[in-house]
Amino acid sequence: MNIQLTPQETDTLERYQRNVCERTSYVKVTCILMLSKKYNPAEVSDILGIDISTVYRYANAYGKDGIDIYLQTNYKGYWGMLSSTQLSELRNELKRNLYTDSKQVVQWIKNRFGIEYTPSGIVDLLNRIGFTYKKTKQVPCEANSQKQAEFLEKLSELLKESKEEETLIYYADGVHPTHNTRSTHAWIEKGTEYEQPTVSGRDRININGLLNANNVSDVIALECKSVNAQTTKELYQMVLKQNPKAQTIYIISDNATYYKNKELNTWLASTRIKQVFLPPYSPNLNLIERLWKFLRKKIINTSFYRTKEEFRQAVLNFFKNIKQHKSELESLLTLNFHLINSQSFLG
């Protein structure tokens, strides 16, 4: 098959080849370049992984239409089709409006700029400009960002105070792991399925916990029949015993009723503990919530426990051996909080 290119045509195709990222466009251009360099159709087919009939189809299309029409294809999913101004406008559009699939973005670009992308081409482009396809994050609509900001100002003062050895800050919360395997995202070989056994029960264990804000491997976990005022008092007694030299122990929690129990608060008045309450609907400000997520990732989502007791022991061993995860926890449990309206605070 004889395809001859002028130096200008070769330069145009090679520049297109360097810029294009969408596979179909790359193959079409490379096919013509290889044929012009005296590769036979069988070699082109073998190297590019396409049918030999496709090689002939591309060659005939190029010979019939010429370079300009050949490159005016629907397969324009490469970086160079949008200018920097257009890319900036696309980024702003994606920040303002939620697009649930690539075809919607393809249509917006076509309507706005008259440029067509394939769905796979637009996915490549979106990845390159810093967007990824993932689940939206649910947040409480009742959350008050102003109150959250005010709390973070207060937290900043507490953090300064806690730099002294006599003052400690702990985060409190209860967690209720359920004895059942949960599906999760993982790297799995293409064309295969990774089957996770499950149990039919819904048994759970109850953990009342405390997390040291300045030493995230300092976790106090109390297994209990129920997370309530009585077990919270028992948990608080544990932290007092563990820290006899601390003059003040701040415990930050949500607004669960058992934290505000009358008997508990009467007892607290005679201790070194001071409770600090998060604004309503603010799990994003409770550091220990990230520890529970880490627990699910390490223990619950990726392993199968045939009996509840096996599951229970795995959870308790996680807390018993918490220092094994110190480096990961220090990276995850930073004093970096995000408000519902995407503002942030660095402690």
**Alpha helices by DSSP H, 162-284:** 229-242, 262-268
* Cβ neighbours of residue 266 closer than 8 Å, sequence gap 6 or more: none
DSSP 165-187: TTEEEEEEEEE--BSS-------
Number of CB atoms found within 10 A of residue 66's CB: 11
Is-contact 216 290, C-beta < 8 A?
no
Q: How many CB atoms lie within 10 A of CB 244?
A: 7
Token pair 């926890």 in the structure block, residue: 329
pLDDT digit of tens for each residue in the chain (347 aa)?
Answer: 678 888 888 887 887 777 665 677 788 889 999 999 999 998 998 888 888 888 998 898 888 888 777 776 544 444 457 787 888 899 899 988 888 888 899 999 989 988 888 888 888 888 888 888 887 766 666 677 788 889 898 999 898 888 777 899 999 999 998 877 666 666 666 777 777 677 766 788 999 999 999 999 999 999 999 999 999 999 999 999 999 999 999 999 999 999 999 999 999 999 999 999 999 888 889 999 999 999 988 888 777 788 889 999 999 999 999 999 999 999 999 988 877 654 444 44
Phi, psi (rounded to 5 degrees) for 186: -155, 165
The H-assigned helical ranges of the chain are 7-19, 23-36, 41-48, 52-71, 84-96, 102-113, 119-128, 145-161, 229-242, 262-268, 288-295, 308-320, 326-332
- Asked if residue 175 lies in contact with residue 207, where contact means CB atoms within 8 angstroms, the answer is yes
φ/ψ of 174, rounded to 5, equals -105, 150
Which token pair is 53? 């009939």
d(CA 254, CA 134): 28
Contact 310, 180 (CB under 8 A): no
- The Cα-based distances of 270 to 1, 191, 258 in angstroms read 94, 63, 18
Query: How would CATH label the architecture of 145-182+197-346?
Result: 2-Layer Sandwich (3.30)
For the record, the structure tokens of 188 come out as 């799995």
Residues contacting residue 306 through CB under 8 Å, at least 6 positions apart: 199
> Could you tell me how far CA 124 lies from the centroid of its own chain?
19
Q: What is the pTM for the complete model shown?
A: 0.61
Cα gap 258→276, rounded to integer Å: 14
- The residue ranges of every structural domain in the chain are 7-71, 79-128, 145-182+197-346
Q: Give the integer Cα–Cα distance in Å for 87 and 90.
A: 5
Q: Which amino acid is at 302?
A: T
